[in-house]
Structure 1
């Protein structure tokens, strides 16, 4: 009876921790369908939108590198409680925003909060999974992360379109949704011991650098598409359709990310090579369709591109993470995965600045077309590199096996 009760409590903590990760990601992506409205209110260009978006990534990456090891040393609670407090401050800053400076401050606060929380929450999911199933914990963490990316634009778009105070209400609702997250964090086990912490930059073990290079580059490309969708897709859809419906742009971002989650669930347990080999051409096709959609002003093509691109993103992401997990030495897995996530967040934040510069000079539709075609071509190039690396590895393994047989 006591054992069953303990397992039940651990299961509840597990799902509340997943909820916390989901809601934090939801909050950081509430501004996505609102950027066009902010641009009209405060008088800035798509380039400024991408710079504001990148400020979030610039704050997130160092926070991620510092807070993960810190939580290992001092315990999850001590890092997560201030992280949720900082996230709440970011929401308040958005709700009170009356100028561009407020948007920068809010995004920086959100980046610090998510960077501090994502590593400890992911680790807590592994520690709290009742049966010790690390694959299940990893899948739940991935689904919660990508699900939050999609839920944020959908929730904000719906509230902004259908309810009053479009630039205030979404953030107030998110503050309310954070309340259970606070209780979830206080319900986490206390750290049994604390150790001395010192910052250290992540490094890639030499034996996995080739795998990391291929998987990291492919995932960088996949997440550059996420940056495009989160920062500029709602404005792009408005130009194509002529509709000012804020829900439409948010719904298409959510659709893309929902397809990514479903692709990861369906691809779970498959080999890293198969996932990436299937995902890269899907990603390229989705981007090509997005480029054509701009030329034809076709909203149905944007929907199709969102679905196919989302599937490609999900498979490439899962394939890259699986490859890194498999190749990393057991005693350096967390360090290797942290480095992988840094590459991902760079993919979200850096290319979109170039897209913003292009949009300011040649127009948003043309810029999205050119960006999509370049990333599609690079995705095809990565597919070729992946296949060649696989054949080279297989050939080396065969030669080694033949040599051993001859010696025997």
Structure 2
């Protein structure tokens, strides 16, 4: 998932900028033999966009799988969680590996795994197929996200790291939002709704694979080692507050990508797959738009503004469980997306700015692990609640609890900022 433009390129720490979920590089790499062309840069952005589009194609289809294979919403959350469970170790292993053996040698197998994951969904005849396909997708994204992000930075024709980071932001979150819309649109008007979206994804991966084969070779400048999760003592307070805020923000992302399409169907009685997928995508679109609008804002203020907006969106989601209003649900999605974008951008910037240069990669990798844990773990709690409560009640309880936690973290952040300001004034 994203996500913020780079710092000032004249800054000494500009090399260690925030990137979408994926391990930061430990050293600088430049392609051998000439500058990167425009087409390679934009084709690499296309590869990132399509890869992340494929990971969310199943979002509007989970309700159909439930009916077809006879499982509960809790199983949907398990299918989603297993994706995160394999993504995190792949993220920590494959990013540094691409530094050591080259981008192509990591990206081609990763895109192959993504294609196999889509094929698994297309051929699914039981719930087990869905788990296997989701595992393959998690391995693919974990392996490719760091390498593709690094490649975009290396291939930007003018060396403009701010532009490379912005393109990465749009491609990453845009892909996450495009997946549910594309699958919902195709599935709604296709005679094979659970097959055609994934066939389309496989076809779209072919030019992405061709792009990878045309990437310039790179020199090995780092020894391979998995990233260590390490937080320097001097920034643990910052990491705890920003990490907690983003854990909550991405828990909401997990909810929208797993259960909201089914929730929309229960709320409206509509069987339109595009409606459910579009509602999930609306949150992601709102997140990326607000990030593009305010990326240069003070990071501390972004979090302070984003948390109450996120809580307000969740409060509306609780209200939807009572009044059953689609318009109110869409408003909740927009507010939650805006809050998520502000919290994520502010938190990632804060952690990035405070991370020591010698342990920058380890700190950012730890932050991304928290992000992905937030995506996968809390939604399991919603799934457990659905075994005892209705889906509507489970979503309302989850939304209410996360809203309260957002406000508690907001209080802690405000106190921390005041204490910092007081120390600086002495």
TM-score calculated relative to the size of structure 1 = 0.94
1:73 to 85, 88, 100: 100
Tell me whether 1:106 sits opposite 2:133 in the alignment.
yes
Partner of 1:39: 66
Partner of 1:350: 377
Partner of 1:148: 175
TM-score calculated relative to the size of structure 2 = 0.90
Deviation at 1:195, TM superposition (A): 4.8
Deviation at 1:313, TM superposition (A): 0.6
Equivalents in 2 of 1:374, 1:298: separation in Å?
21
Cα separation, partners in 2 of 1:192 and 1:7, compared to 1, 3 Å: closer
Partner of 1:230: 257
Task: For residues 229-277 of structure 1, give each alpha carbon's deviation from its aligned partner in whole angstroms, at most 9, with x where no partner exists.
Answer: 0000011001110101111000111111111010100111111111111
Paired residues of 1:7 and 1:130 also in contact (CA < 8 A): no
Aligned residues: 394
Partner of 2:37: 10
Partner of 1:406: none
Structure 1 gaps, min length 5:
1-5, 400-408
Partner of 1:404: none
Query: 1:280-359, aligned counterparts within 5 Å?
Result: 280-359=307-386
Partner of 2:158: 131
Task: For residues 155-185 of structure 1, give each alpha carbon's deviation from its aligned partner in whole angstroms, at most 9, with x where no partner exists.
Answer: 0000110122000000000011111111221
Deviation at 1:109, TM superposition (A): 0.3
Deviation at 1:137, TM superposition (A): 2.1
Equivalents in 1 of 2:419, 2:221: separation in Å?
46
Equivalents in 1 of 2:341, 2:145: separation in Å?
19
Deviation at 1:287, TM superposition (A): 0.5
Query: 1:1-400, aligned counterparts within 5 Å?
Result: 9-193=36-220, 195-399=222-426
RMSD over equivalenced CA pairs, Å: 1.4
Cα separation, partners in 2 of 1:9 and 1:71, compared to 1, 3 Å: closer
Structure 2 gaps, min length 5:
1-32
Deviation at 1:8, TM superposition (A): 8.4
Deviation at 1:194, TM superposition (A): 6.0
Higher helix share: 1
1:361 alignment partner, SS class: coil
Cα separation, partners in 2 of 1:194 and 1:327, compared to 1, 3 Å: closer
Deviation at 1:52, TM superposition (A): 0.6
Cα separation, partners in 2 of 1:134 and 1:257, compared to 1, 3 Å: same
Partner of 1:403: none
Task: For residues 189-216 of structure 1, give each alpha carbon's deviation from its aligned partner in whole angstroms, at most 9, with x where no partner exists.
Answer: 2121365423342212222222111111
Paired residues of 1:63 and 1:112 also in contact (CA < 8 A): yes
Deviation at 1:9, TM superposition (A): 4.6
Equivalents in 1 of 2:45, 2:417: separation in Å?
35
Equivalents in 2 of 1:31, 1:266: separation in Å?
30
1:204 alignment partner, SS class: coil
Paired residues of 1:218 and 1:382 also in contact (CA < 8 A): yes
Deviation at 1:130, TM superposition (A): 2.6
Equivalents in 1 of 2:274, 2:328: separation in Å?
18
2:191 alignment partner, SS class: coil
Paired residues of 1:75 and 1:194 also in contact (CA < 8 A): no
Equivalents in 1 of 2:161, 2:302: separation in Å?
19
1:192 alignment partner, SS class: coil
Larger radius of gyration: 1
Equivalents in 1 of 2:222, 2:323: separation in Å?
60
Deviation at 1:37, TM superposition (A): 0.3
Equivalents in 1 of 2:162, 2:408: separation in Å?
30
